[in-house]
Chain A
């Protein structure tokens, strides 16, 4: 990390606002934020209009001109905090600089923090935290968060460990669950949490919100120190969380599962809107003669405005056949959820789930408009075990063929979901061969990385031979791309 560029011209160092700002933009760029030339100039002009003593206004104004995507904002805030405290021009420079001190927050110490209150016991710190949480005194909380990090994170300069590691260590020592329990207890003792469920719930949520704030402060503190120690690039690397679209279905942690869950709804909404638009625009309907003549009356019989019929493109019908055995369960769940959330884009969606037996589960989705509830019912009520509850693709497929083969038509796309790990049972891939002849398309989505295909008991290429496409589908991004192609086809 470099400080603001300083002109070293003869004797006194001199720093201008321009230098400070250029240094800042440089830092933003190394943190991975795209800042264009125009935006840079805008920020310069903007600074002429604000009172530089109002640090928060400066922050808002720089953010408005330099950051055009909300998900970049946290990174921006960190860089801002660090840059305008630690890397501010040294005190002697500031005298020659027409910039007010207020712009530069207090320097927050080095990586080990050290100094004030370093010798508190855990219990004392917890007490102080409780008091601060009680009154929601933000400045005090921030100070305490800093102390907690100094004491518990064990940060060492230059040690190549990720920020999440320090965060984990600090939070474990702080024991948020315990804090939360004690907060509730104290509140109850004061009679603030009545026994009624509703006020109780609201009070608990308030406590949780406060603890989240504390967690955020701790995170901020760690990030600040990391940047101070290793520069923004390192910070950007170690604290970067994958976007929900990039989380691997097979290895998602509980938090990531929740993030995925939340991401599905907006994603399907976007995709549906885009598909509908594309469909409507691709072809114009044929000329509507009657309406054209009617419209021409307005212009004395001149057909100035030709009218067209609204196009009604046929929507494909799809059948999803999903393996829901342990190893790929979450993949199947998200895919089913995704496809059913997109149901308006298809003329019909039918789903089947199997392990070694197979069952149709369309009814669960049609009974309710709450998709997560339907998925829950799929997992608990579907009749999918035939012998031993280990995947047997061959048996499941032959039953599927026997029961539903006739319902597969030229309009149907059949999509198989699974890792094709068949526990060395017979593949029965003639089922796919015969389906391919009847159906419009047969696709296979595999949640395993391509490199693992056909290793061990995976027989993906035996099935793949009779598919119109076999796709690796490990995250929402790949899933979205696939759904968009079939809805269009």
Chain B
């Protein structure tokens, strides 16, 4: 059993120590993931700090973060392991003159030094504490999802030439999803589920205060309120938490202690990235 955290309150406190503000759900589920040794499926819109959570857990527990970024077409060779063909081929060619028996060559080229370890295998073999982040799992095809399922349920993998490799410890595993497609029931069943949404004004204000040194409460509150206002507009891409933080930092650099329409007008591009979104927000907040 994992014993990285003592209690739910301990989770909140230690995440806070690494500048991550967890709400009740986040803290409870993180604690549970550690105790039950089950992977967590973290779902929610882009930019609410899903990936950040994995980093924070790693930092709080002094673990190494191993990240598998998913994309369409991700396969076993890129997720788990792959034999280094080039090196193997060189090895065989180098051997031609010596007429070594095939058996000895074979056992040689299928050994550790010809193995390319990919993130999943790396996490399984890790001796030190590890947090495994499988990012944007909704992007992979069903077949790869099945592979993930298999690896995550037993935390072992068999490589025909080397035998079965069993994990020495159970890392905390986080899978994130932007919900571009429905994940399989089987995967959901095996995971704990955590939905993260944009924070309310109170929490976002706290986040800003923690992450932007030198900001006073007044300004942080204004920042959070303006961002909430912007999020209610019909935008292509609503501002993420990290964009809120960037914006607050920009305001500090520019030496603004108060937000006026002019200030918003000149810094809006930090918060929004599409020209049409910027134009819309400008029309609503600055010109009215």
Of the listed stretches B22-30, B58-66, B156-164, B207-215, chain A binds B22-30
**Chain A contacts of B31 at CB under 8 A?**
49-50
Decide: A42 and B89 in contact? CB cutoff 8 A. Answer: no
Contact B264 A61 (CB under 8 A): no
A231 to chain B, nearest CB (A): 26
Question: Separation in Å of the B152 CB from the closest CB of chain A?
Answer: 14
A51 closest partner in B (C-beta): B7
Within 8 A of B (CB), among A200-224: 201-202, 205-206, 209
A171 at the interface (CB under 8 A from B): no
Q: Tell me which residues across on chain B come within 8 A of A368, comparing CB atoms.
A: 276
Instruction: Determine which residue in B8, B188, B200 has the highest number of CB atoms from chain A within 10 A of its CB, and name it.
Output: B8
Chain B residues with Cβ below 8 Å from A261 are 234
For the complex, is A46 an interface residue (Cβ under 8 Å from B)?
yes
Q: Does A173 contact B (CB under 8 A)?
A: no
Contact B36 A63 (CB under 8 A): no
Let me know if A64 and B193 touch, CB within 8 A. yes
Does A270 belong to the interface (CB within 8 Å)?
Answer: yes
Contacts of A205 in B (CB 8 A): 225, 228-229, 232
C-alpha gap A300/B260 in the complex (Å): 66
Do residues A269 and B189 form an inter-chain contact, with CB atoms below 8 A? no
B194 touches A64 (CB 8 A): yes
Indicate with 1 or 0, residue by residue over A396-419, a CB within 8 angstroms of chain B CB atoms: 000000000000000000000000
Check B285 against A201 for contact (C-beta < 8 Å).
Answer: yes
Residues of chain A at interface, number, CB under 8 A: 46
Tell me if A57 and B288 are in contact (CB < 8 A).
Answer: no
Contact segment of A5-13, A67-75, A96-104: A67-75
Find A73's partner among B195, B226, B260 (CB 8 Å cutoff): B195
Identify the closest chain B residue to A36 (Cβ).
Answer: B189
B252 within 8 A of A: no
Q: Say if the beta carbon of B72 comes within 8 Å of chain A.
A: yes
What separation, in Å, do the CA atoms of A130 and B288 have in the docked complex? 29
Neighbouring B residues of A330 by C-beta, 8 Å = none
Choose one: A206, A273, A372; the contact of B180 (CB below 8 Å): A273
Q: How far is the CB of B205 from chain A (nearest CB, A)?
A: 12
Taking CB atoms, residues of chain A closer than 8 Å to B201 are 206, 209
Tell me the A107-136 residues at the B interface (CB within 8 Å).
none
Asked if residues B285 and A198 are in contact (CB atoms below 8 Å), the reply is yes
What is the distance, in angstroms, from B85's C-beta to the closest C-beta of chain A? 6
Cα–Cα, bound, A351→B24 (Å) = 50
| Contact yes or no, B229 A60, CB < 8 A | no
Provide the A253-293 mask, 1 if CB < 8 A to any CB of B, else 0: 00000000110000001100110010000000000000000
A261 to B233, CA, bound (A): 12
CB within 8 Å of A: which B45-95 residues? 72, 85-86, 89, 93
Q: Is B170 an interface residue (CB 8 A)?
A: no
A73 to B200, CA, bound (A): 18
A261 CA / B235 CA spacing, docked (Å): 12
A70 touching B195, Cβ below 8 Å: yes
The residues of B that contact A42 with a CB separation of less than 8 Å are: 36, 38, 192
Q: Which chain A residues lie closer than 8 Å to B194 at the CB level?
A: 64
Q: Is A197 engaged at the interface, CB distance under 8 Å to the other chain?
A: yes
A452 CB within 8 Å of chain B: no
Smallest CB gap from B232: residue in A: A205
CB-CB contacts below 8 Å: B232-288 with A? 232, 234, 259-261, 264, 276, 280, 285-286, 288
A273 surroundings in chain B (CB, below 8 A): 180-181
Residue from A60, A198, A270 within 8 A of B28 (CB atoms)? A60
Among candidates A56, A197, A202, residue contacting B225 with C-beta atoms closer than 8 Å: A202
Contacts of B38 in A (CB 8 A): 42
Q: Which of B141, B181, B193, B226 contacts A270 (CB 8 A)?
A: B181
B5 to chain A, nearest CB (A): 10
State whether A45 and B7 are in contact (beta carbons under 8 Å apart), knowing that A197-B288, A201-B229 are contacts in the complex. no
* Interface SS, A side: helix
8 Å CB contact of B29 from A64, A69, A198: A64
Number of chain B residues whose Cβ lies closer than 8 Å to a Cβ of chain A: 49
Decide: B24 and A60 in contact? CB cutoff 8 A: yes
Q: How far is the CA of A51 from the CA of B201 in the complex (A)?
A: 29
Nearest residue (CB) in B for A280 is B72
The smallest C-beta distance from B106 to any residue of chain A, in angstroms, reads 17
Q: Is the CB of B36 within 8 A of A45?
A: yes
- Closest residue to B72 on the A side, CB-wise? A277
Instruction: Tell whether, in the assembled complex, residue B89 and residue A299 are in contact, meaning their CB atoms are under 8 Å apart.
Output: yes
CA distance A45 to B35 in the complex (A): 10
Residues of B within 8 A of A202 (CB): 222, 225-226, 229
Chain B residues whose C-beta falls within 8 Å of the C-beta of A73 in the assembled complex: 195
In the docked arrangement, what's the CA distance between A273 and B180, Å? Answer: 8
Whether the pair B264, A198 counts as a contact (CB closer than 8 A) is: yes
Q: How far is the CA of A299 from the CA of B84 in the complex (A)?
A: 11
Given contacts A57-B28, A64-B28, A274-B181, contact A198 B260 (CB under 8 A): yes
Please give me the residue from chain A that is nearest to B23 by CB atom: A60
Is residue A39 within 8 Å, beta carbon to beta carbon, of the partner chain? yes
Task: Assess whether A380 is interfacial by the CB under 8 Å rule.
Answer: no
Tell yes or no: B135 within 8 A of A by CB: no
A369 to B41, CA, bound (A): 34
Is A68 a contact partner of B86 (Cβ separation < 8 A)? no
B25 near A64: Cβ-Cβ < 8 Å: yes
Partner of B8, one of A54, A198, A298, A304: A54
* Chain A positions 233-251 with a Cβ under 8 Å from a chain B Cβ: none
What's the nearest-Cβ distance from chain A to residue B136, in Å? Answer: 12
Note all chain A residues with C-beta closer than 8 A to B261.
196-198
- Judge whether B189 and A39 touch: CB under 8 Å: yes
Cβ of B43 within 8 Å of any chain A Cβ, yes or no, is yes
Query: Is the CB of A379 closer than 8 A to any CB of chain B?
Result: no
What B residues does A262 contact at CB under 8 A? 234
A365 to chain B, nearest CB (A): 13
**Which of A46, A57, A69 has a CB less than 8 Å from the CB of B24?**
A57
CB proximity to B under 8 Å, residues A173-208 = 196-198, 201-202, 205-206
| Contact (A49, B36) CB under 8 Å given A205-B225, A205-B229, A298-B86 | yes
Does A372 lie within 8 Å of B234, measured CB to CB? yes
Query: B85 — nearest CB in chain A belongs to which residue?
Result: A304
26 contacts between A and B (CB under 8 A): A38-B190, A46-B36, A49-B32, A60-B24, A60-B25, A60-B27, A60-B28, A64-B29, A65-B192, A68-B41, A70-B43, A196-B261, A202-B222, A202-B229, A205-B228, A205-B229, A206-B201, A206-B225, A209-B201, A273-B180, A274-B181, A299-B85, A299-B86, A299-B89, A368-B276, A372-B234
Q: List the interface of chain B (C-beta within 8 A of A).
A: 7-8, 24-25, 27-29, 31-32, 35-36, 38, 40-41, 43, 72, 85-86, 89, 93, 141, 180-181, 188-195, 200-201, 222, 225-226, 228-229, 232, 234, 259-261, 264, 276, 280, 285-286, 288
Known A46-B35, A61-B29; 7 more pairs at CB < 8 Å:
A50-B8, A51-B8, A54-B8, A56-B24, A67-B193, A68-B191, A205-B225
**Which residues does A use to contact B, with CB under 8 Å?**
36, 38-39, 42, 45-46, 49-51, 54, 56-57, 60-61, 63-65, 67-70, 73, 196-198, 201-202, 205-206, 209, 261-262, 269-270, 273-274, 277, 298-300, 302, 304, 368-370, 372
